[in-house]
Amino acid sequence: MSDHDPQTAASDADIGLIQRIIPHRYPFLLIDKVREIVPHKSGVGIKNVTFNEPHFQGHFPGKPVMPGVTIIEAMAQTAAVVVGVSLDLADKEMLVYFMAIDKVKFRRMVVPGDVLELAVTVKRGGGKIWKFEGRATVGGELACEAEFTAMMDMPANG
């Protein structure tokens, strides 16, 4: 396949496109951009972790640590953007629901100032049910890994 094949060409999603694909907004929009999107295959989400995020007020006072569940949610949002780009779902009000989260391991704390990279790979997809593998890293160091399955609630009138 050529480099210009839309099924294999990598692309990026800025915050504007992310908001056109997934419904999440402050305080629960947990990715800033998605780069290296290969439709139906993979993408890398970027989360710039800042002290101003609401969960740091209570998790934990004096020692801010990004909750593990929000790291997994950021992976899922990245995956949803990959699906949205793959199926051309911008502006079509797609919703995504977790069905399973498996093989989760946390290896490093994520703290304000970190740039979290969320690499997701499609293990199975194409219809309503998609399965992904995700790895979250900071500076190349593994912070979290997981497999997760999600149902895409796609608009009936594409």
Q: What per-residue confidence (pLDDT) applies to 8?
A: 55
Which candidate in 24, 40, 55, 59 is catalytic? 59
List all residues 6 or more positions away from 151 whose beta carbon is below 8 Å from its beta carbon.
Answer: 96, 97, 99, 128, 129
Tell me the average pLDDT across 50-67.
96
**H runs (alpha helix) in the chain:** 15-21, 68-86
Is 24 in the active site?
no
Place of tokens 């977790």: 98
Q: What per-residue confidence (pLDDT) applies to 126?
A: 82
pLDDT tens digits for 89-126? 999 999 999 999 999 999 999 999 999 999 999 999 98
pTM (predicted TM-score):
0.92
CA distance 35 to 45: 6
pLDDT tens digits for 21-40? 999 999 999 999 999 999 99
CA distance 129 to 149: 7
CA distance 71 to 75: 6
3-state class of 109 per DSSP?
Answer: coil
3-state class of 49 per DSSP?
Answer: coil
CA distance 116 to 137: 6
Least confident residue range of 3-17, 27-41, 46-60, 67-81: 3-17
CA distance 102 to 104: 6
Beta bridge partners of 101: 148
Tell me the average pLDDT across 124-138.
95
Q: Say if residues 34 and 43 touch (Cβ distance below 8 Å).
A: yes
